[in-house]
């Protein structure tokens, strides 16, 4: 079987604006811009940032502000959200923010939407205030956004200025079959969080494709998978660098979050068997190794899933090694897209 009938597979970046040990969010924003500029040179399609709150190692909480910073420092790469957690915001405010971004950076802004809070329940209550217990309807909020972006909304009493009449692609993000059903029913592109929630990935994308209804926004299903990538010149070097990723997710499963830690020689000195198992389950779709190992594993992944786009996220401590990882990943995907596999 060929990859997407020999159609080139798009490749993109997901950046959590990870703060590393010994650095500050201000440092992180500078390195994110450096990475975005390099990704633009390497032919990456888009650079997304994710909304998270109350996490010491993630500095992308003011997502739309950071999108503006990255878009303003680049010139061609698409920049967007992976995603905005819609229940945390009113659709009108999101429409105004992204309408502003799309006015500043025409044809370069993506709006990926999720329904999770992007944080713990206590923080979610602080974000949402009296709306915490309100019934949130994700599909109707998406429809409200579409209405605000529509030129036909100009006669409404409530308008998104700027935003009205602008072409801002909306993506549905998810980690379950529920999100797949929403994306399919609304005829929107679908991005799956397989980098941390792999359990329902294959089932969800099959359901999405089977139930997809063409819309004015999209005539056929479009699937993007987000995966963890640590690429280096050798397998051994990649394995060493990946221990920062393992420590990051160890903080997730243990609830003991830290700034991104430097790599270590032996993870067995840090975690127990149960923690190792839990982290391993979360990282099922991770590609760690040198060029040849990664090429074979990514080739198998693309053949099996037939995704249209693969988005890489890389929690690598050393900035130079992180840049190198994205350089190698782009080369591998380009090579695979150029030949029948």
Q: What percent of the chain has pLDDT over 70?
A: 92
Pick from 37-41, 254-258, 274-278, 306-310: least confident: 254-258
pLDDT band at 338 (very low <50, low <70, confident <90, very high): confident
Per-residue pLDDT at 17: 95
Q: Which two tokens stand for residue 186?
A: 């609304």
Looking at residue 292, what is its pLDDT? 97
Region label for 69, one of left (φ > 0), alpha (ψ between -120 and 50) or beta (otherwise): alpha
Mean residue pLDDT across the chain: 92
pLDDT in tens, 89-145: 889 999 999 999 999 999 999 999 998 765 566 766 776 666 655 546 889 999 999
Reported as a pLDDT band with limits 50, 70 and 90, residue 337 is: confident
310: helix, coil or strand?
Answer: strand
- The per-residue pLDDT for range 8-33, each reduced to its tens digit, is 899 999 999 999 999 999 999 999 99
C-alpha 273/C-alpha 282 separation (Å) is 15
pLDDT at res. 133: 59
Q: 148 and 160 in contact (C-beta within 8 Å)?
A: yes
């Amino acid at each position: 079987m060929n990859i997407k009938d020999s159609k080139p597979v798009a490749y993109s970046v997901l950046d959590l604006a990870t703060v590393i040990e010994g650095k500050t969010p201000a440092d992180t924003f500078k390195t994110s811009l450096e990475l975005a500029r390099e990704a633009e040179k390497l032919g990456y399609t888009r650079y997304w940032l994710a909304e998270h709150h109350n996490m010491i190692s993630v500095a992308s909480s003011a997502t739309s502000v950071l999108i503006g910073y990255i878009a303003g420092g680049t010139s061609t790469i698409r920049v967007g959200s992976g995603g905005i957690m819609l229940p945390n915001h009113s659709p009108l405010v999101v429409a105004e923010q992204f309408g502003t971004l799309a006015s500043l950076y025409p044809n370069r802004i993506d709006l990926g939407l999720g329904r999770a809070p992007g944080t713990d329940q206590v923080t979610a209550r602080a974000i949402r205030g009296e709306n915490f217990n309100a019934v949130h309807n994700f599909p109707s909020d998406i429809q409200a956004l579409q209405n605000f972006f529509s030129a036909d909304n100009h006669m409404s009493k409530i308008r998104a200025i700027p935003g009205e009449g602008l072409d801002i692609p909306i993506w549905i993000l998810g980690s379950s079959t529920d999100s797949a059903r929403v994306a399919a029913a609304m005829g929107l592109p679908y991005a799956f969080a397989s980098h941390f929630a792999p359990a329902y990935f294959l089932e969800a994308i099959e359901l999405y494709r089977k139930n997809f209804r063409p819309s004015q926004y999209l005539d056929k299903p479009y699937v993007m998978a987000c995966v963890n990538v640590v690429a280096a010149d050798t397998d051994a070097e990649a394995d060493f660098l990946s221990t920062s990723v393992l420590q990051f997710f160890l903080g997730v499963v243990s609830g003991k979050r830290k700034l991104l830690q430097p790599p270590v020689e032996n993870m067995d000195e840090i975690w127990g068997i149960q923690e190792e198992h839990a982290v391993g389950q979360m990282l099922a779709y991770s590609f760690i190794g040198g060029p040849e190992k990664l090429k074979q594993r990514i080739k198998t992944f693309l053949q099996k899933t037939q995704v249209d786009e693969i988005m890489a996220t890389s929690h690598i401590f050393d900035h130079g090694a992180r840049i190198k990882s994205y350089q190698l990943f782009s080369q591998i995907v380009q090579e695979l897209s150029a030949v029948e596999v």
